[in-house]
Amino acid sequence: MKTIHAKTIRNSSDWLDRASCRSVGRETFYDGSAEGRQAARLVCTRCHVLLECLADTQALEAAAEGRWGMAAGLTAPQRLALVWEERLHGARPDAAKARELTDWGWRKALRRHHGRGLTLGEITQAIGGTTPQHHVTTRLALWWLGLDGARVRPRAADDLTPKWQRVVNEHRGEIEGIRAAGGNRFDVSAYLGVSISCAELAIARVNKLTAGVLEVAA
Ligand code: SF4
């Protein structure tokens, strides 16, 4: 039986009857495989009410403090990452602009920059963005295009540094910020776009560094 996925993630909205997931099986949005996520993302990114869905989903999930499955073209960790973008940087994406960035001309440019191994900041700068809002808008567009949008710099060919160590080197301050705000390994993993085990190792290292700093300060 077909169900309206959007209706399962929010109370009621006047845009529900225009939702593309009206004609798609609800299971598509809860299939944990990469293929399943890709299928759901394609349904969502072609949906006429993507922007309305994203806004309502974020509001509902903020109140419920829980995220499951795909919604608004994003995985649950990607939606959680948006929460931390706002908490750490005070930045919400311009979803309409992000959708524009998935159109043909911009899409080609984003794929090219991403393929060259640029960081999120470098990709944003390459398309003319400078502010925290521009960064998170680019990140949203990359996710909608099915690209990783991670905050960690891609590994250089000659760099043998373990990923968790690179995460600490590049993002110690943000990890400390997430921990100070009560976040855990799932939050760090989602925000940075790394695996949970990588986030765990990075947090353990940051904790030790912080303890060392406190000892010195004492
Ligand atoms: S964006 Fe996706 S989840 Fe949201 S209403 Fe459209 S198809 Fe449904």
- Sorted by where each begins, the domain ranges of the chain are 1-66, 74-149, 163-217
Q: How many C-beta atoms surround the C-beta of residue 11 within 10 A? A: 7
Each residue's pLDDT tens digit, 40-87: 999 999 999 999 999 999 998 988 878 989 999 999 999 999 999 999
DSSP H helices in the chain:
5-8, 34-45, 50-64, 76-89, 95-101, 104-115, 120-126, 132-144, 163-180, 185-192, 196-217
**Pick from 154, 99, 80, 84: nearest CA to 123:** 154
Q: Is the CB of 95 under 6 A from ligand 1?
A: no
Position 26 scores a pLDDT of 83
What is the distance in A from the centroid of ligand 1 to the CA of 153? 31
Each residue's pLDDT tens digit, 86-110: 999 999 999 999 999 999 889 999 9
Each residue's pLDDT tens digit, 134-179: 999 999 999 999 999 889 988 888 888 999 999 999 999 999 999 9
Q: Is the CB of 21 under 6 A from ligand 1?
A: yes
Q: Is the CB of 44 under 6 A from ligand 1?
A: yes
Q: Measured in whole angstroms, how far is the alpha carbon of residue 165 from the centre of its chain?
A: 21
Nearest CA to ligand 1 atom 3: 71
Position 198 scores a pLDDT of 97
Q: How far apart are CA 206 and CA 213, in angstroms?
A: 10
Pocket test for ligand 1, best of 8, 14, 15, 20 (most atoms within 8 A of CB): 20
194 in Cβ contact with 187 (< 8 Å):
no
Atom of ligand 1 nearest to the CA of 9: 3
